[in-house]
């Protein structure tokens, strides 16, 4: 059953971000990629940011009867999001995984930037310039999955800010979403100072009332305690932000999904 969405105006669009745990349930007990696709479609987001997307895994393909024949981002996008991009970050003998962006709108440009700080922990940021019909300039969307280590995260956040400053105008509308692994809530200060970004749960504007709070708890999905997953925006207005946790979400991935509805300031 499709979840009810807020009333949409001509300039509104919806987004979601989710660490999909390579299509497996918590502790890799069960293959959940088919249920995951159903949940994504129920969210009905226009743009989706995904982390831990399995591009290829020869061993899983041989072991699981219902393993998709195409890369996970293509399987999840089929018939709904006709535009998609994948950034391969971690490569091993039997496959690779990374980040993906799925979009109902045309992707005018895509680039996967290596932001690895520790050799044993490969990381990247996937940047897509997306053409929204109501915007005269592209909406820049960046999907990230940052380090487990605080020093590396700070380095990666500054690399992210340097990259975005180099390739986008300072007034361009911007979304950065994903798994920040930001246990101590430091990312918001860096991204606000360097790029003028605000997290959607900390600066939401529901019914015309601006609410300033902390990012949503998103991990573990069964009973969220830690604020690891984020959606940061610039040049847009936040209408609604939601966390999707507990059953059935927690049966699919160890992270909760986050979604938001925004309007353009065109």
Summarize pLDDT for 143-169 with one digit per residue, the tens.
Answer: 999 999 999 999 999 999 999 999 999
**pLDDT value of residue 3:** 45
**pLDDT value of residue 63:** 87
The model carries a pTM of: 0.92
Spans of the chain, pLDDT less than 70: 1-10, 204-212, 266
Domain 12-264: CATH superfamily is Endonuclease/exonuclease/phosphatase (3.60.10.10)
What residue segments make up the domains of the chain, in order of their start? 12-264
Q: Give the other-Cβ count within 10 Å of 165's Cβ.
A: 12
**pLDDT value of residue 2:** 42
């Amino acid at each position: 059953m499709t979840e009810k969405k807020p009333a949409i105006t001509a300039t509104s669009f919806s987004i979601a971000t989710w660490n999909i745990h390579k299509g497996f349930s918590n502790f890799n007990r069960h293959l959940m990629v088919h249920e995951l696709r159903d949940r994504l479609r129920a969210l009905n987001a226009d743009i989706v940011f995904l982390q831990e997307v399995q591009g290829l895994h020869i061993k899983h393909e041989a072991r699981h009867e219902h393993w998709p024949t195409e890369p996970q981002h293509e399987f999840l996008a089929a018939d709904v999001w006709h535009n998609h991009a994948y950034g391969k970050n971690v490569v091993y003998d039997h496959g690779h995984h990374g980040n993906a962006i799925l979009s109902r709108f045309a992707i005018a440009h895509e680039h996967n930037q290596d932001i690895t700080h520790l050799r044993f922990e490969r990381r990247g940021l996937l940047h897509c310039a997306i053409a929204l019909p109501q915007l005269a300039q592209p909406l820049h969307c960046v999907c990230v999955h940052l380090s487990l280590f605080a020093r590396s995260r700070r380095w990666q956040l500054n690399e992210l800010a340097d990259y975005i400053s180099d390739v986008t105008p300072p007034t361009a509308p911007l979304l950065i979403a994903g798994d920040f692994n930001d246990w101590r809530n430091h990312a918001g200060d860096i991204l606000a100072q360097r790029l003028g970004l605000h997290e959607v749960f900390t600066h939401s504007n529901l019914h015309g009332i601006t609410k300033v709070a902390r990012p949503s708890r998103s991990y573990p999905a069964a009973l969220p305690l830690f604020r690891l997953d984020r959606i940061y925006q610039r040049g847009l207005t936040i209408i609604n932000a939601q966390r999707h946790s507990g059953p059935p979400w927690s049966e699919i991935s160890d992270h909760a999904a986050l979604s938001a509805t925004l309007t353009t300031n065109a």
